[in-house]
Structure 1
Amino acid sequence: MEKVIFLEEGADLDALSSAYGLLLIYPESSIFKPKHLSRRASEVFRDFRHLFRIREDLPQEFDLILADTHHYEVYLEEFKGKVKDIIIYDHHPAHMAGVKGKVQQVGSTTTLVVEELMERNMDISPVSATLLSFGIYEDTGFLSYEGTTSRDARALAWLLEKGADLRIVRKYLSDTLSKEQIDMLSKHLQSIESLFFNGKKIVIATLKAEEYEPDLLRIIYDLREVRDSSALFVIVSAGYKTYVFGRSLRGELDVNKILEHFGGGGHTFASATKLEGAHAERVKSVLTSLLEGKRVALKVKEVMTSPPFVLHQDTGISDAILELSQRNFAGAPVVDDAGKLVGVIYKKSLVRALKHYPEGRVRDFMLEEFHTLTPEDFIWKAEEILSRYGEKLIPVVEGDRLVGVITRLDLLYSMRQQTAYLKAYERKIKLPPHIEEVGREIGIIAEGLGFKAYLVGGVVRDILLGKEVWDVDFVVEGDAIKVAELLAQKHKVEFHPFPEFGTAHVKVKGLKLELATTRRETYPHPGAYPLVEYASLREDLLRRDFTINAMAVSVNSQDFGTLIDYFGGLRDLKDRLIRVLHPLSFVEDPVRILRALRFAGRLGFKLSKSTERLLRSAVSLGAISSAPKGRIMNEVRLALREERFLEILELYRKYQILAEIFKGITWSPKLEKKLLRLRDIITWHKIEFPKEVMDYGWVYLLVLLEEMKEEEGMAFLRDISAPSWVRETYKIMKRGSKSTEKSLLEAKRNSEVYLSLKNKPLYFLLMLMTKENLKEKVKLYLEKLRFVKVNVEKFRGLSGRELGEAIEKEKMKIMDEALE
């Protein structure tokens, strides 16, 4: 089988020398023409090319030989179907165990090849010995680098015996610089840094303008560290301006694509840009993030809040203060009747003005001289305005149209993202395949309309927890109903819009989708239903209840799968904490008290210290009683669906809201013991009868209501909109429980047990099992008696009532005889 030796892009002398030695070991081999070699390897290859067997095309089938490789899997994928066998020689064994060839820890790959030549007693020429010695000398630093072994020295000794010419070695391995060049380089060595991104080495040099000399770029470019890298970036700080130069050295990195983010221009191999107001270290940090493949917001349009909240110039002072306070805003742009931007107002100014001019209007105190930005401006221009002029917000305009607003908080988030030493608030996550497919479709549709779309809320939390998800929520910065309509058209399914809420429901490929337009919410008074306005993604997330439910995942093509976590939800998820987003959360919406405890019970999480304090405070202020009963009951219904309802109930009791919800219930050790027994019974029933799917939460509720007066219990069941069968079971429990218990206690025969429990609801039977003296008889009925079958052929000729009575009589006979 013909063998082909491959050299990686930018291969050094060790790789080239190894490849030459492999040509000696495998006479049927040749080297596939390398595209690019390191500077030294290029010089040696140029001068000794006549000694290498080179081919420029590949046979239909071949054995693949790799020397000093790092990505052998790439070759296997690229030549799938052609490669019959693979042979590897490498001196970095950690990532290649059990392959053919020789993979061992020594100072140089060439050493391994030379050892094989020695083992085969091959006689080589002095020129060949010199070529092989290049690799060992270079990779071991003339036997001085850490990692050099005695085996490297022995291999060199053998090559010297074969006539390796040290004069030629010195010629190619010795670099010389002039004294001036050495002095220049020594001043800047500390500013040159080699970094690794996705297997590529990138060199970044950061210089000051007064130190920068044109010849320095050439010297840096000639450094071994640079020549052996994939790309070089040089950042030059010149006072208020910063220049960035990019050079691709192997064609592995499109430097223009990177510098386009900074507004640069050029081509794949060379690009440059000039920035104003951006510090060199900041640019380096952003550049590093871009090379890591992170999405970095650099333009105002990427961080601004849009649509912006605005105040009309004729709004009264008191109303304006209330509007700003409800949204937790320090200020807002001001517009006239035509929606034209006419000023900026701050809450502090309004509060001061209220004391002296309570009847005043916003127009009387707004700032009419202010800075504006365009969506295409870089964010450091915004930073300069906010820091130099002390402004708290800047309107963003497109022509004469107000399109957004940028605040200090917006810039804080972008700086977190751009600063390498701070943990970024975004990361990539893998979506389940069925959600990823639909998510990409929604992202494409949204982008086609000029919108942005995100997976949001509880579905993100559950994906991060590894739970299966089929009900999926998306939000759209734009028109969610239009996106849902186009998605429904594509899949030829119905969609259900709700224009008053800006939402739509669609079922696609087994997924129940809700698409909502991003919005902000304000509460007119505690416990009230919120008032809704369109807003940005950040504001939409801010209106949510807890940090773990306030995360989003982008489904836009440019950053698909990026987790957006403004409030530390991922951290709280890892720490197993429930944390509210702001201090008034429970006061504004007391139903969140129940939601906090439902999530804590469901997930086995704890409340954060501050959240627990705020919850207890809200309860003590009577917040639950101020919330609409319908919303409270709806939340309790949701809790009844949880598998860990008993844990949620215990949290209700711990935080003293149980009596607020279930008025008339007295918690006692007896009740607690009964509920714990019921949990064991439910676990048994799930295991024994998995096909009998039940809403077990209602059984817990019936036990809770057992000691309550019937009319009070029925009233509660009506308030919570309990299903009719629950209400009927409750009536049986209240009216017929004692007679059933009595007959069951007196039952001596299996048939008597059967008659006592026949036609009773299953929920009622599970409740009866909580009574220790009845448990075994109910269990007998559920496991055996209710399944007794009769051969109806014995009763041919009978019909109607006579047939039924005969069958029942036969059943009881079987029970009493066969099941004794």
Structure 2
Amino acid sequence: MPNKNITVIATHENADFDALASMVAAKKLYPEAIIVAPGSQERRVREFISSILLEYFRLTKLKEIDLKAIKKVILVDTSQLSRIGPLAEVVKNPQVEVHIYDHHLPPDPETPSHFSLIKPVGATVTILLQLLRERGIKIAPEEATLMALGLYEDTGAFTFRSTTKEDLEAAAYLLECGANLNVVSELITHEFTAEDVSLLNDIIHEAQTHFIRGIPVVITKVSTNHYIDDFAILVHHFMEIENIPVLFALVRMEGRIFIIARSRLPEVNVGQILENFNGGGHQSAASAVVKGLTLIQVEDKLIKLLKEKIKQPKVARDLMSYPVKGIPPDTPIKEAETILVHYDFNALPVVENGKVVGVITRPVVDKAIYHKLGQQPVKRFMTTEFPILSPEASLTQIKEALLQHKQRIVPIVENKKLVGVITRKDFLNYLLTTPSAFLGGPDLEKRPYQKFITSLLNEKLPKHIVSLLKKIGEIAEHLGYNVYAVGGFVRDLLLRQENLDIDLVVEGDGIALAKTLQKEIKAHIHTYQKFGTAVIILPDGFRLDIATARTEYYEFPGALPKVEMSSLKLDLYRRDFTINALAIKLNPKQFGLLLDFFGGQRDLKEGMIRVLYNLSFVEDPTRILRAVRFEQRFGFKIGKQTLDLIKQALKLNLLSHTTGSRIWHELKCIFLEPNPAGIIERLNELSVLKSFYPALKWDKNLKNLFKEIESVLSWFDLLYLEETYAKEEVYLMGLLDPLSEEETDSFLTQLEFPLNKKSLFLEKRKKIFNIYHLWCKKREIKPSLVYLTIKEIPVEFVLYLMAKLSPYKKRWLSRYFTQWRQIKPILTGNDLKAMGLKPGPIFKTILEELLKARLDGKVKTEEDEK
């Protein structure tokens, strides 16, 4: 006899894994109930039902059930009549008892119910699991696996903003019940077909951003000739790869418009918005199916709804502190410290004639006082490159200003007048009281300073170097250390420029790692215990510098640094510029992970040279020379703030407090660059040269001389002679060309040249000057005279002389290098003895005369010499 009191468990059309899992969970609460097979399902759900689910659970098609016999309906994962098909008429029947379990808020008011349990959690199956646990109902492993599928899918593997503590507890319980995560992973992970990729490309191409109440909303609309099961997955993938905060995707399929919506922002509740299209979902994810309208009509209606429904977000005016306590630019550092301490501020705006001209922070003030600069005005060290926002600036703009630009305060300006400031503390307090605002931020969900560049390492480095770096990472892992490649090597790798000068930093004991490496690869090692550093030299001559991560401090401006063991971040913070403060992790699990704490990638992309902190040039004034060197080498630009700090450091005459040997080291580096003239010209433009030594001048004549030196050195290098020379000394001669002998002596003393080296330099310089003035008066000169005049002079000075000479007279030295130096007399001392001459000083005279005759073309053969 047919059952006249049927209980059915049902869910929405186009069922997903959460819907399916919730029906199975509900079956355990209502054992007598029949699970109604959903009228349509997502493709992966359909495949799961046909291949796995039917082995464990019975699903009954609705057409096999006498609808009049249904007396109770258990509705899961939806409360909307519009989404349950023919069952909607059954649910409307007042004689039918309706129980609803759902996580989509708010519930449909038109759906009658005798009992409902609707909670704002990540998945409906979480609600049902709580009931099962309370009632002590056991769950089989296959049931736990299905429920885990629903939970993982609807929470985006616990990354969606709608995920709650209850969802995580449910997942832990399912694992205890034997849920198979391998099955979950296989079914959740999606492999795209060629058709999927083509549609994804259309989704990306057609996307447009609309700013509604300051919130960026992306709407994309596409058409396809047939139904695409995985459209929602494609939409989710697009949102992830583009990091989109709010997305509405419209697709025309089979004469209907399907809408998939996702939101990361609390101001945009996509579930409520799509209710107007008879759709459903929750605040973060929703969908709808529209009939009888075109894509354009649906988009127009959607935009109108968005303008009505999107909440007005908080703006800068709501968060700012006012009135503002500012200080003038000439305020002494010591007075700024008093104000900061009195008001418990971490930063102060610097205001001049009502305009914000800078920001001074407590760390900068503290460090300036440490260096005994308390009487200096704040304008010397204030930050001058900082974002300014209007009172209507959005949370996203505030977040970017404070966190991405690493500012402690952001001035709020209206009609060019300072009306308030937002401090980092103000913003963080807001985030703590409104956590959804933090979770919704598109850029705060990821750590943009980290990315893997393993493919770039493999592409740009020789295989044996990559293998060596991996080996080092393995050794560090074994020792319990972290090891990183740092500095110029990383910078040049990102710039796609060759540089195998590799520096490594170890969070641990750098010397211990170096010794272990040395034993394994049979290399030479030199250790420096005082600094925690080591140099490894491989059998092929390749060199690695290994250092223990360390921080440093300066006892006074321009002093040599004192170092202490530290972490990677502090080690990088002590470096000169952001572009040199990048690191690549070498440990096996994270090999190739690029770490950028200070915006180095941004500055490489923008072509900017920026220091890491405001007193950088105070602590090491030689960084001024380095900033210009890197600017000219890479064709970059010194950032406005960094340029201001250079000018302030020069006003304090800090270069004069720096040891001469450090200045000379930087000058050598400049002279070894491809374009030293450009660097010196820029240093002169910034008044750096005269700051160090007032007599140094750069003019048209010196510029031309540097150009000639560059040409001469290029020519000499192309001779491929097996002769080394100090290129930097040729350029030093050029730089000092206009100086008197006394000024040159003084300059070399300031550079801390050793006395013997300085004496030799001055002696040879004087000799070269005498030769130059003598040769300038001559139209022709015998080769023998050229040879004998310069044969004892170091090659660097000869090349400098060559650069000074006219093109015609340059040929004298050209022939000296290429021909005359190689000429020797045919006759030797033995020949002279054979001719009956008695050995003695006369031999030297005879051979020199023979050489002169041969150089001047007077003799050519042995007979001529005799």
Range 548-557 or range 431-440, more displaced: 431-440
Give the letter for the 1:269 counterpart.
V
- Contact preservation (8 Å) 1:743, 1:756: no
Matched, 1:776 2:806: no
**CA offsets 1:725-760 (integer angstroms, 9 cap, x no match):** 785354123145324542574334444444444443
Give the C-alpha shift of residue 437 in structure 1.
Answer: 2.3
Which of 583, 587, 592 is equivalent to 1:552? 583
Counterpart of 1:425? Answer: 450
Counterpart of 1:582? Answer: 613
Give the C-alpha shift of residue 580 in structure 1.
Answer: 0.6
Question: In 2 relative to 1, CA 595–235 (structure 1 residues): closer, same or farther, beyond 3 Å?
Answer: closer
Counterpart of 2:405? Answer: none
Question: 2-side partners of 1:415 and 1:589: how far apart?
Answer: 42
Question: 1-side partners of 2:573 and 2:439: how far apart?
Answer: 17
**CA offsets 1:529-583 (integer angstroms, 9 cap, x no match):** 3332322211111111101110000011110011101112122122222111112
Question: 1-side partners of 2:566 and 2:829: how far apart?
Answer: 75
Question: In 2 relative to 1, CA 530–749 (structure 1 residues): closer, same or farther, beyond 3 Å?
Answer: closer
**CA offsets 1:231-259 (integer angstroms, 9 cap, x no match):** 99577956443339999xxxxxxxx9xx9
Query: SS at the partner of 2:597?
Result: coil
Matched, 1:801 2:844: yes
Question: In 2 relative to 1, CA 611–497 (structure 1 residues): closer, same or farther, beyond 3 Å?
Answer: same
Question: 1-side partners of 2:717 and 2:64: how far apart?
Answer: 81
Counterpart of 1:573? Answer: 604
Give the letter for the 1:533 counterpart.
E
Which of 441, 457, 460 is equivalent to 2:490? 460
Question: 1-side partners of 2:757 and 2:811: how far apart?
Answer: 25
Question: 2-side partners of 1:39 and 1:737: how far apart?
Answer: 90
Matched, 1:505 2:535: yes
**CA offsets 1:146-170 (integer angstroms, 9 cap, x no match):** xxxxxxxxxxxxxxxxxxxxxxxxx
Give the letter for the 1:621 counterpart.
L
Task: Indicate the RMSD between aligned Cα atoms, in angstroms.
Answer: 5.4
Which of 642, 664, 672 is equivalent to 1:633? 664
Query: SS at the partner of 1:665?
Result: coil
Query: Gaps (5+ residues) in structure 1?
Result: 1-36, 47-173, 193-205, 248-255, 273-283, 293-317, 331-346, 352-389, 394-406
Counterpart of 1:484? Answer: 514
Query: SS at the partner of 1:241?
Result: helix
Matched, 1:521 2:549: no
Question: 2-side partners of 1:597 and 1:232: how far apart?
Answer: 49
**CA offsets 1:641-698 (integer angstroms, 9 cap, x no match):** 3333222211221111112334433333322222222222222222344644433221
- Contact preservation (8 Å) 1:522, 1:531: yes
Query: SS at the partner of 1:515?
Result: strand
Which of 728, 736, 740 is equivalent to 1:705? 736
Query: SS at the partner of 1:242?
Result: helix
Question: 2-side partners of 1:176 and 1:442: how far apart?
Answer: 67
- Contact preservation (8 Å) 1:601, 1:648: yes
The count of residues paired between Structure 1 and Structure 2 equals 508
Query: SS at the partner of 1:796?
Result: helix
Matched, 1:446 2:476: yes
**CA offsets 1:341-381 (integer angstroms, 9 cap, x no match):** xxxxxx99xx9xxxxxxxxxxxxxxxxxxxxxxxxxxxxxx
Which of 803, 811, 819 is equivalent to 2:854? 811
Matched, 1:474 2:508: no
Counterpart of 1:89? Answer: none
Counterpart of 1:277? Answer: none
Query: SS at the partner of 1:460?
Result: helix
Question: 1-side partners of 2:773 and 2:649: how far apart?
Answer: 44
Give the letter for the 1:243 counterpart.
L
Question: In 2 relative to 1, CA 558–813 (structure 1 residues): closer, same or farther, beyond 3 Å?
Answer: same
Question: 2-side partners of 1:531 and 1:235: how far apart?
Answer: 45
Give the letter for the 1:426 counterpart.
K
Question: In 2 relative to 1, CA 268–450 (structure 1 residues): closer, same or farther, beyond 3 Å?
Answer: same
Query: SS at the partner of 1:497?
Result: strand
Counterpart of 1:658? Answer: 689
- Contact preservation (8 Å) 2:122, 2:167: no
Question: 2-side partners of 1:748 and 1:631: how far apart?
Answer: 43
Counterpart of 1:243? Answer: 168
Which of 758, 763, 768 is equivalent to 1:731? 763
Give the C-alpha shift of residue 267 in structure 1.
Answer: 5.0
Range 532-541 or range 743-752, more displaced: 743-752
Question: In 2 relative to 1, CA 415–531 (structure 1 residues): closer, same or farther, beyond 3 Å?
Answer: farther
Give the letter for the 2:848 counterpart.
E
- Contact preservation (8 Å) 1:476, 1:515: yes
Question: In 2 relative to 1, CA 427–755 (structure 1 residues): closer, same or farther, beyond 3 Å?
Answer: same
Question: 2-side partners of 1:503 and 1:176: how far apart?
Answer: 79
Query: SS at the partner of 2:857?
Result: helix
Give the C-alpha shift of residue 484 in structure 1.
Answer: 1.3
- Contact preservation (8 Å) 1:555, 1:561: yes
Range 675-684 or range 473-482, more displaced: 675-684
- Contact preservation (8 Å) 2:449, 2:596: no
Question: 2-side partners of 1:177 and 1:622: how far apart?
Answer: 93
Counterpart of 1:786? Answer: 821
Question: In 2 relative to 1, CA 234–688 (structure 1 residues): closer, same or farther, beyond 3 Å?
Answer: closer
Matched, 1:673 2:704: yes
Query: SS at the partner of 2:167?
Result: strand
Give the letter for the 2:556 counterpart.
H
Give the letter for the 2:763 counterpart.
K
Give the C-alpha shift of residue 767 in structure 1.
Answer: 2.0
Query: SS at the partner of 1:653?
Result: helix
Counterpart of 2:182? Answer: 268
Question: 1-side partners of 2:477 and 2:528: how far apart?
Answer: 22
Give the C-alpha shift of residue 414 in structure 1.
Answer: 13
- Contact preservation (8 Å) 1:209, 1:238: no
- Contact preservation (8 Å) 2:824, 2:851: no
Which of 610, 616, 629 is equivalent to 1:598? 629
Give the letter for the 2:481 counterpart.
F
Question: 2-side partners of 1:414 and 1:481: how far apart?
Answer: 43
Question: 2-side partners of 1:271 and 1:44: how far apart?
Answer: 18
**CA offsets 1:611-630 (integer angstroms, 9 cap, x no match):** 11111121122221233333
- Contact preservation (8 Å) 1:602, 1:645: no
Question: In 2 relative to 1, CA 795–549 (structure 1 residues): closer, same or farther, beyond 3 Å?
Answer: same
Give the letter for the 1:502 counterpart.
G
- Contact preservation (8 Å) 2:681, 2:698: no
Work out the percentage of aligned pairs sharing the same amino acid: 30
Query: Gaps (5+ residues) in structure 2?
Result: 1-42, 53-60, 68-72, 85-102, 105-120, 133-140, 187-232, 242-333, 347-361, 367-424, 834-838, 862-866
Question: 2-side partners of 1:720 and 1:710: how far apart?
Answer: 15
Matched, 1:616 2:647: yes
Give the letter for the 1:764 counterpart.
F
Give the letter for the 1:766 counterpart.
L
- Contact preservation (8 Å) 1:439, 1:555: yes
